[in-house]
A and B are shown apart, each in its own frame.
Chain A
């Protein structure tokens, strides 16, 4: 059991800064996901926590103990890599026990731990096989097992599911979640897959260019993105973005983009907004609802429909503004027809047009 605290971390390769002045505290037993596009520094940061990359500034604490310059093996971590990184010349059993054998632990204990981990991960029937004789999913289980037997306090996952096909990915995702529930260890998980982040995390840290953009629960990150980047990075189908102005008229406030006009009086602005401020409206497709005879409906001209199985993504134009929105299978929404919708303003997001931050 361990908490992790990163203070003022700087990491650079040569003169190129990868991570900049980063502060992050991970609670004991928390599942934290570092989410971001490739090159955002999330893997580098994880490697630094594991002691595999040197930081150029700042400190790393595990349980208030400074481990900034501690050797990886002494940090009490287990790490799982995208490429599995199993030792190809060793059997599964020897892969699992390699670290324990180096540590000079007696054979009975090793056997017990290997047995425990392999049963937990359902790989106990594969112990004599070489990694090359395993499927991708089995290999990643072995890699997780290798971290398990080490009695790690902190588990580091570096895109562990990215090499697997979609079905296996979903399966192992669930497995990792169960594992976290059983072990209650601190887990730090790096991914670029938003579904993995949203399903697994207690908290998500969305990163871009070496800086944490937002650190919050999955729901808050999804529903109240801190800036335009977070809003558009999460969510599939993607969030609609419309540039326009906010105009106050008496008690009411309107969002105006050309001919498009939307009453946004019910939106909970975090601060006072002066009139005619330039903003970007972020609207998720599922927050534009079929009107079903509501009075506040606006008519859209449907240009394209994309059936997605459970529902349909429609692309419609509302007074010159093109928005994608979700409709049900029974809503009889067809291309080249009109379709009435209501917009759930409370669930929308407004971002400053210049800084991109949430208003």
Chain B
């Protein structure tokens, strides 16, 4: 069997197949170029001076390579009244991101664990309700949540935005972990119960250490979603905690004076740097985590 297989792969391609391959690669190359084009334009523009931008040659490389726009975007671009650049927003986004990601993943894992191993009566109904939650457009929740936070006095604060992210992350996180755990043998859980481990002991000593692959997937999903969030940050975070995305919008949508395209481009790239890095660094893990959830064991 394996011999036959290696024989077919070693066989030189026929004339027909060679052209097939060329076609495929040409098609993929064109597609890749098409999707990379905006990034290219953003990058070259951000390294140009405004004088060069005004020429309107968006595809040309910068004549005079300059990082002034980047420095300005980071330190002194005006986000409304203040002109302190994106660095404040970056700090805010990190403050929102870290607790939101950690807590939503922990809670999702806990939910998934409870739903797959401690089969309480009505667990499936509960799970169905949670799933339903992920299909409700979240604009629907905004007004009730605003009222709720206002009543409890945390509206417009860091806890408000963190709690909001945890709530909206819950259905998907629960689904992710529940499906991963349902692939683990139930006997593992039984063995731990006989060994005398309780609900929390089993979770922290056995289940959580086994969850690394799926936790990486969860981190990627949550980091991307929370970092890119605009609406919830705008509504719930309050003036002092506005995330980077909201401040980016403020920079880009300033209506007075000349539009500083180079600064806008630099600011946009800066804002998307975190999710971009997460994908580049952990893409390998992402695929592995998805696959290990699908295949048993």
Contacts A77-B194, A81-B191, A102-B195 known; 19 new A-B pairs at CB < 8 A: A47-B190, A52-B193, A72-B193, A73-B193, A73-B196, A78-B194, A81-B185, A82-B187, A83-B187, A85-B187, A86-B191, A87-B206, A89-B209, A98-B192, A98-B197, A99-B196, A146-B195, A150-B194, A150-B195
Contacts of A143 in B (CB 8 A): 191
Q: What residue of chain A has the Cβ atom nearest to residue B188's Cβ?
A: A85
Contacts of A89 in B (CB 8 A): 206, 209-210
Contacts of A268 in B (CB 8 A): none
One of B185, B201, B209, B210 near A85 (C-beta < 8 A):
B185
Interface set, chain A 119-162, CB cutoff 8 A to B:
143, 146, 150, 158
- Number of B residues contacting the other chain (C-beta, 8 Å)? 16
Contacts of B196 in A (CB 8 A): 73, 99, 102-103
Contacts of A285 in B (CB 8 A): none
- Assembled-state Cα–Cα distance A52/B193 (Å): 8
Closest 4 CB pairs of A and B: A99-B195, A73-B196, A89-B209, A85-B187
Centre residue among A78, A87, A103, A150 by max chain B CB count within 10 A: A87
Query: Does A50 sit at the interface, judged by CB under 8 A?
Result: yes
In contact, B191 and A146 (Cβ under 8 angstroms): yes
Report the minimal beta-carbon distance from B123 to chain A, rounded to whole angstroms: 14
Interface set, chain B 205-226, CB cutoff 8 A to A:
205-206, 209-210
Contacts of B185 in A (CB 8 A): 81, 83, 85
Contacts of A99 in B (CB 8 A): 194-197
In contact, A102 and B201 (Cβ under 8 angstroms): yes
Contacts of B190 in A (CB 8 A): 47, 50, 52, 72, 79, 81, 85
Q: What residue of chain A has the Cβ atom nearest to residue B212's Cβ?
A: A89
Contacts of A77 in B (CB 8 A): 194
Report the minimal beta-carbon distance from B93 to chain A, rounded to whole angstroms: 33
Report the minimal beta-carbon distance from B206 to chain A, rounded to whole angstroms: 5
- Sample of 9 A–B contacts (CB below 8 Å): A72-B190, A81-B190, A83-B187, A85-B188, A87-B191, A98-B197, A99-B194, A143-B191, A150-B194
- Assembled-state Cα–Cα distance A73/B192 (Å): 9
Q: What residue of chain B has the Cβ atom nearest to residue A73's Cβ?
A: B196
- Assembled-state Cα–Cα distance A48/B191 (Å): 14
- Assembled-state Cα–Cα distance A146/B175 (Å): 33
Report the minimal beta-carbon distance from A149 to chain B, rounded to whole angstroms: 10
Chain B residues at the A interface, C-beta cutoff of 8 Å: 185, 187-188, 190-197, 201, 205-206, 209-210
Contacts of A82 in B (CB 8 A): 187
- Assembled-state Cα–Cα distance A50/B193 (Å): 10
Contacts of A52 in B (CB 8 A): 190, 193-194
Report the minimal beta-carbon distance from B207 to chain A, rounded to whole angstroms: 10
Chain A residues at the B interface, C-beta cutoff of 8 Å: 47, 50, 52, 72-73, 77-79, 81-83, 85-89, 98-99, 102-103, 143, 146, 150, 158
Contacts of A146 in B (CB 8 A): 191, 195
One of B195, B209, B210 near A98 (C-beta < 8 A):
B195
Contacts of B205 in A (CB 8 A): 87, 98
Report the minimal beta-carbon distance from B143 to chain A, rounded to whole angstroms: 42
Q: What residue of chain B has the Cβ atom nearest to residue A150's Cβ?
A: B195
Report the minimal beta-carbon distance from B184 to chain A, rounded to whole angstroms: 9
One of B192, B193, B194 near A87 (C-beta < 8 A):
B192
Contacts of A78 in B (CB 8 A): 194
- Assembled-state Cα–Cα distance A82/B187 (Å): 8
Contacts of A150 in B (CB 8 A): 194-195
Contacts of A73 in B (CB 8 A): 193-197
Q: What residue of chain A has the Cβ atom nearest to residue B190's Cβ?
A: A52
Q: What residue of chain B has the Cβ atom nearest to residue A75's Cβ?
A: B194
Contacts of B197 in A (CB 8 A): 73, 98-99, 102
- Assembled-state Cα–Cα distance A261/B191 (Å): 57
Q: What residue of chain B has the Cβ atom nearest to residue A99's Cβ?
A: B195
In contact, B188 and A87 (Cβ under 8 angstroms): yes
Contacts of A88 in B (CB 8 A): 210
- Assembled-state Cα–Cα distance A47/B190 (Å): 9
Report the minimal beta-carbon distance from A359 to chain B, rounded to whole angstroms: 42
Report the minimal beta-carbon distance from A214 to chain B, rounded to whole angstroms: 29
Contacts of B188 in A (CB 8 A): 83, 85, 87
Report the minimal beta-carbon distance from A11 to chain B, rounded to whole angstroms: 15
- Assembled-state Cα–Cα distance A97/B201 (Å): 14
Q: What residue of chain B has the Cβ atom nearest to residue A156's Cβ?
A: B194
Report the minimal beta-carbon distance from A47 to chain B, rounded to whole angstroms: 7
Centre residue among A52, A82, A86 by max chain B CB count within 10 A: A52
Q: What residue of chain A has the Cβ atom nearest to residue B191's Cβ?
A: A85
Q: What residue of chain A has the Cβ atom nearest to residue B208's Cβ?
A: A89
In contact, B201 and A79 (Cβ under 8 angstroms): no
